[in-house]
Structure formats: C-alpha cells, structure tokens
Amino acid sequence: MDKKDLKKRTVTTPDGKKIEVDPMKDYFSQAKPKIHKPGKTVFEKFLDWARAESLWILGFGTGCGAIEMRPLMTPRFDAFRYGIQWRPTPRQSNVFVIAGYLSVKTLKRVIRSYEQMQGPKYVVALGSCTINGGMYWDSYNTINRLDYYLPVDIYIAGCMPRPESLLAGFEELKKLIKQGKGEGANIYAEKFDWYKNNQKQIIKDWDMPDYNW
C-alpha cells in the first residue's frame, strides 16, 4: 500500500453513494488494549493447560535465526509432536518468535503483527541479539534489547541457538503458561504508554495507528 492511500479521501460505494474514508481511523481500532484478568478457578487451569499444549507460532522470520525454525518444523526435530505448529497469519497464532536481530524497519512490522495477534499471546526471543544486541550491538539500525518494545516471556540465548535449545525453550514456556505466568498481553496493556513511547522514539516515521488490531 502506498502512503498516499492512507490519507483521507472520497470513495464511491458500489451503490453509487460517495463517502469519505479516513483509513487511519476507519480501518483500525484506536482503542487501547484492555487488561483481561485471568480467573483463579480450576477451569482457568484447564485453559492454561490447553493453551500450553497448542503453541501456534506466527511464521515471521525477522532475522538470521529464522533459519533454525526450518529444521524444527521438518521431520528431523519435528516440533509438531510437542503441539507446536506454524501459522501463516497473526490472527491464528499465539506465539511470536523473534528470530534474531531486529532492524527498525522490521520492528515496525513486528509491532503491527504482535498487536493483531489475539490474547493470550507469548513472545519468545531467540538469540543474543534480542537480549543485548549481540554482534550487532553497535549497529546504526538494529535495536539492542527487545523487552523495551514488547513484553518477552522467555529468552533463548545463543548465536544462533540450535533447534534442540529452541525445543527446550518451548518446554520452559509451557511450564510458565501452566503456572499462569504467561501474562504478556496483560503486561503490554498495563504498561502500554511506556511501550508506545519507546517504540515511537525508535520509529521516526510513525505512519500507522497507535493500536492496530
């Protein structure tokens, strides 16, 4: 989509009426995310178990670490036996694997995708680049620490981590979710202003709605 398509304009509808469309307002919800407090019932525990056993990953390879996800989803390591699978759209997935370094341009897309995912959602940060910048720590275009922009549930250290350590990381994530600690979406809603402020400091040409889901 071109940037000029995002401006306010008049559109003719199929029945001949002329209406004004403001894509930045009409196509997206501007409402802030809400906190959904988890219940303390046994049923909630059952739900947590169900969530932990079906981790659906958004197929979005952001950096070089994405190369480790291919052996993971193919027969050699076969993550499917752990209830982990890859989905093509953010609407169907609940785990976002940030695979390695993030440039500012990618971070913008990552934020949009993350906000479109439905809660409860989890972020797995892969590789040392997401922890402190890794080997790109002094680069002009890659971020240093991911937890300033998105709530991270679990880090998997390494450069790059092997598929085995990814599997171990997912097992840890399952434990966290079963303990009711996978509250990333709520943390994001709670500290929303702080996250937005950090994101806007980095992304200089902010040309999208503040919250787009």
List contacts with other proteins (CB under 8 A): 103-105, 108, 131-133, 137-145, 148, 198, 201-206
Question: At its nearest, how many Å lie between other proteins and the CB of residue 136?
Answer: 9
Do the beta carbons of residue 169 and residue 156 sit within 8 Å?
yes
For the chain, how far is it from start to end, CA to CA, in angstroms? 18
Our CB check for other proteins shows the closer of 24 and 47 to be 24
Question: At its nearest, how many Å lie between other proteins and the CB of residue 204?
Answer: 3
3 state SS of 142: strand
Our CB check for other proteins shows the closer of 122 and 149 to be 149
As a whole number of angstroms, the distance between CA 15 and CA 148 comes to 48
Question: At its nearest, how many Å lie between other proteins and the CB of residue 86?
Answer: 27
Our CB check for other proteins shows the closer of 126 and 131 to be 131
Our CB check for other proteins shows the closer of 27 and 137 to be 137
Whether omega before 120 lies within 30 degrees of 0, making that bond cis, reads: yes
As a whole number of angstroms, the distance between CA 83 and CA 86 comes to 10
Question: At its nearest, how many Å lie between other proteins and the CB of residue 208?
Answer: 11
**Tokens coding 195:** 């996250």
